[in-house]
Amino acid sequence: AQKITQTQPGMFVQEKEAVTLDCTYDTSDPSYGLFWYKQPSSGEMIFLIYQGSYDQQNATEGRYSLNFQKARKSANLVISASQLGDSAMYFCAMRESYNQGGKLIFGQGTELSVKP
Amino acid sequence: DAGITQSPRHKVTETGTPVTLRCHQTENHRYMYWYRQDPGHGLRLIHYSYGVKDTDKGEVSDGYSVSRSKTEDFLLTLESATSSQTSVYFCAISESGMLNTEAFFGQGTRLTVV
């Protein structure tokens, strides 16, 4: 069963506007962590933001914020004031506490295109 | 930047031949991972390691084996390459398996099986 689901294969956003990238997850573990990574066309993987399942507040890092809705098992990434350099693939990932190996599972990704 | 080197960066090989990809790190991180990236599938975990000689299977381990004889090196072997293993392979490392520990990625290896 897919543990991480990103239902938007591709998205467009106008420069300077905000955009939300969806991520839903499936786990029975009460303790888990959620990550977002960015992959520009150059291919490197860049860590953006982290949210723990017990964190009381939604994570924020500069223009990135995470809309964490635990009951709905969703962890959507919000990018405010989009820039052309935000055009990239974005991946959601999860690590569960029960797994001693620190297994990190990724979703299918969303390709974001920012229009000038 | 995290010290992760994947080699080779590009490889073309023939069906049925064995192939070994190497991931070398200089960070002394305990956890290492191999992923493959394919369009529409994102990154899928092949194998991972949580210490020297400690490895486990990921989601798509069939046709792959790994070895980790020392902390800094994690080898991925395709025993008999098939065209379905044409992909971009990423190695990642993580200092710990704790929930909030991010993983750092190598530059990727583009493997083509003809």
A1, pLDDT greater than 60? no
Tell me the nearest-neighbour CA distance from B98 into chain A, angstroms: 7
User: Chain A neighbours among B 83-102 (CB < 8 Å)?
Assistant: 88, 90, 92, 94, 96-102
Q: How many angstroms separate the CA atoms of A88 and A42, rounded?
A: 9
Q: Does A84 touch chain B (CB under 8 A)?
A: no
Show the tokens assigned to A12: 């467009």
Helix (H) or strand (E) holding B21: strand B19-25
Higher pLDDT, B24 or B2: B24
Mean pLDDT over the full length of chain A: 93
Q: How many angstroms separate the CA atoms of B93 and B34, rounded?
A: 9
Tell me the nearest-neighbour CA distance from B105 into chain A, angstroms: 6
Show the tokens assigned to A114: 């920012």
pLDDT of residue A103: 85
Tell me the C-alpha to C-alpha distance, in Å, between residue B1 and each of A45, B37, B47. 11, 21, 23
Q: Does A78 touch chain B (CB under 8 A)?
A: no
Residue with tokens 């994570």: A59
Q: Say whether A45 and B92 touch across the interface (CB within 8 A).
A: yes
- Residue A84 DSSP one-character state: G
- Tell me if A109 sits within 8 A of B42, measured CB to CB: yes
Q: How many angstroms separate the CA atoms of B61 and B44, rounded?
A: 10
pLDDT of residue A2: 60
Tell me the C-alpha to C-alpha distance, in Å, between residue B33 and each of A42, A45, A114, B1, B112. 21, 14, 31, 17, 21
Radius of gyration, alpha carbons of chain A: 14
Give the one of A6, A43, A102 whose C-beta lies nearest to B31's C-beta.
A102
Q: Does A108 touch chain B (CB under 8 A)?
A: yes
Q: How many angstroms separate the CA atoms of A81 and B9, rounded?
A: 35
Section A91-109 average pLDDT: 86
B34-68 pLDDT per residue, tens: 999 998 889 999 999 999 999 999 999 999 999 99
